[in-house]
Amino acid sequence: GNSVTQMEGPVTLSEEAFLTINCTYTATGYPSLFWYVQYPGEGLQLLLKATKADDKGSNKGFEATYRKETTSFHLEKGSVQVSDSAVYFCALSEKGGTGGFKTIFGAGTRLFVKA
Protein backbone atom coordinates (compact mmCIF):
# COMPACT_ATOMS: atom_id res chain seq x y z
CA GLY A 1 0.00 0.00 0.00
CA ASN A 2 0.86 3.63 -0.12
CA SER A 3 3.15 5.03 2.54
CA VAL A 4 4.94 8.17 3.67
CA THR A 5 8.39 8.36 5.22
CA GLN A 6 9.68 11.52 6.87
CA MET A 7 12.79 12.37 8.78
CA GLU A 8 12.78 11.62 12.45
CA GLY A 9 12.91 14.38 14.96
CA PRO A 10 13.09 16.22 17.05
CA VAL A 11 14.70 19.00 15.07
CA THR A 12 16.06 21.88 17.14
CA LEU A 13 16.96 25.14 15.43
CA SER A 14 17.76 28.68 16.42
CA GLU A 15 15.50 31.47 15.28
CA GLU A 16 16.14 32.57 11.68
CA ALA A 17 17.79 29.28 10.76
CA PHE A 18 16.93 27.41 7.57
CA LEU A 19 14.59 24.46 7.91
CA THR A 20 14.32 21.32 5.82
CA ILE A 21 12.16 18.36 6.76
CA ASN A 22 12.52 15.49 4.32
CA CYS A 23 9.55 13.51 3.11
CA THR A 24 9.36 10.71 0.56
CA TYR A 25 6.38 8.66 -0.47
CA THR A 26 5.52 5.35 -2.06
CA ALA A 27 2.34 5.28 -4.08
CA THR A 28 0.67 3.82 -7.10
CA GLY A 29 -0.31 6.60 -9.42
CA TYR A 30 0.09 10.23 -8.49
CA PRO A 31 -1.50 11.12 -5.20
CA SER A 32 -1.95 14.60 -3.82
CA LEU A 33 0.59 15.48 -1.15
CA PHE A 34 0.09 17.51 1.99
CA TRP A 35 1.92 18.97 4.94
CA TYR A 36 -0.15 19.25 8.11
CA VAL A 37 0.94 21.02 11.27
CA GLN A 38 -0.04 20.43 14.88
CA TYR A 39 0.80 23.31 17.21
CA PRO A 40 1.07 22.55 20.94
CA GLY A 41 -2.36 21.93 22.39
CA GLU A 42 -4.13 22.47 19.09
CA GLY A 43 -5.73 20.32 16.44
CA LEU A 44 -4.31 19.22 13.13
CA GLN A 45 -4.45 21.76 10.32
CA LEU A 46 -3.33 21.95 6.73
CA LEU A 47 -0.10 23.85 6.13
CA LEU A 48 0.22 23.42 2.36
CA LYS A 49 -0.47 20.99 -0.44
CA ALA A 50 0.44 20.07 -4.03
CA THR A 51 -1.80 18.07 -6.32
CA LYS A 52 0.45 17.23 -9.27
CA ALA A 53 4.08 16.85 -10.23
CA ASP A 54 6.21 20.02 -10.10
CA ASP A 55 3.51 21.89 -8.17
CA LYS A 56 4.85 24.01 -5.34
CA GLY A 57 2.71 24.48 -2.26
CA SER A 58 3.42 27.45 -0.04
CA ASN A 59 2.02 29.05 3.09
CA LYS A 60 3.38 31.15 5.99
CA GLY A 61 6.87 31.14 4.43
CA PHE A 62 6.92 27.34 4.13
CA GLU A 63 7.33 25.69 0.73
CA ALA A 64 7.32 22.17 -0.66
CA THR A 65 7.64 20.97 -4.26
CA TYR A 66 6.07 17.78 -5.57
CA ARG A 67 8.98 15.86 -7.13
CA LYS A 68 7.74 12.87 -9.07
CA GLU A 69 11.22 11.73 -10.13
CA THR A 70 12.43 11.44 -6.55
CA THR A 71 8.99 10.76 -5.01
CA SER A 72 9.65 13.53 -2.52
CA PHE A 73 7.86 16.48 -0.96
CA HIS A 74 10.42 18.12 1.32
CA LEU A 75 9.28 20.99 3.53
CA GLU A 76 11.47 24.11 3.66
CA LYS A 77 11.46 27.49 5.31
CA GLY A 78 14.17 30.07 4.92
CA SER A 79 13.97 31.62 8.38
CA VAL A 80 12.12 29.89 11.20
CA GLN A 81 10.52 31.63 14.15
CA VAL A 82 9.82 30.46 17.68
CA SER A 83 6.14 30.34 16.74
CA ASP A 84 6.92 27.62 14.17
CA SER A 85 7.59 25.14 16.96
CA ALA A 86 5.14 22.33 16.27
CA VAL A 87 4.86 18.82 14.90
CA TYR A 88 4.81 18.57 11.10
CA PHE A 89 3.21 15.67 9.26
CA CYS A 90 3.74 14.79 5.63
CA ALA A 91 0.74 13.00 4.14
CA LEU A 92 -0.88 11.76 0.97
CA SER A 93 -4.45 11.16 -0.03
CA GLU A 94 -5.53 7.82 -1.42
CA LYS A 95 -8.81 6.29 -2.47
CA GLY A 96 -10.19 4.03 0.23
CA GLY A 97 -11.39 0.50 -0.36
CA THR A 98 -14.96 1.48 0.41
CA GLY A 99 -14.82 4.70 -1.54
CA GLY A 100 -13.90 8.08 -0.21
CA PHE A 101 -10.40 9.44 0.20
CA LYS A 102 -8.41 8.65 3.30
CA THR A 103 -5.19 10.29 4.43
CA ILE A 104 -1.96 8.38 5.03
CA PHE A 105 0.42 10.14 7.40
CA GLY A 106 4.14 10.08 7.95
CA ALA A 107 5.50 9.64 11.45
CA GLY A 108 5.66 13.36 12.16
CA THR A 109 8.66 15.57 12.91
CA ARG A 110 8.74 17.70 16.02
CA LEU A 111 10.40 21.08 15.53
CA PHE A 112 11.75 23.18 18.39
CA VAL A 113 12.86 26.72 17.59
CA LYS A 114 14.94 28.51 20.21
CA ALA A 115 15.03 32.28 20.58
Partner 1 sequence: SAVISQKPSRDICQRGTSLTIQCQVDSQVTMMFWYRQQPGQSLTLIATANQGSEATYESGFVIDKFPISRPNLTFSTLTVSNMSPEDSSIYLCSVDPGNMNTEAFFGQGTRLTVV
Contact 47, 33 (CB under 8 A): no
Binder of partner 1 out of 62, 94, 111, 113 (CB under 8 A): 94
Closest to partner 1 by CB, 45 or 79: 45
Closest to partner 1 by CB, 12 or 45: 45
CA–CA separation, 24 and 87 (whole Å): 17
Q: Hey, which residues does 110 pair with through a beta bridge?
A: 87
Q: Hey, which residues does 38 pair with through a beta bridge?
A: 44, 87
Which region among 17-25, 61-69, 72-80, 103-111 touches partner 1 (by CB under 8 A)?
A: 103-111
Asked whether the bond before 40 is cis by omega within 30 degrees of 0, the reply is no
Which residue ranges make up the site for partner 1 (CB under 8 A)? 31-32, 34, 36, 42-46, 49, 51, 89, 93-108
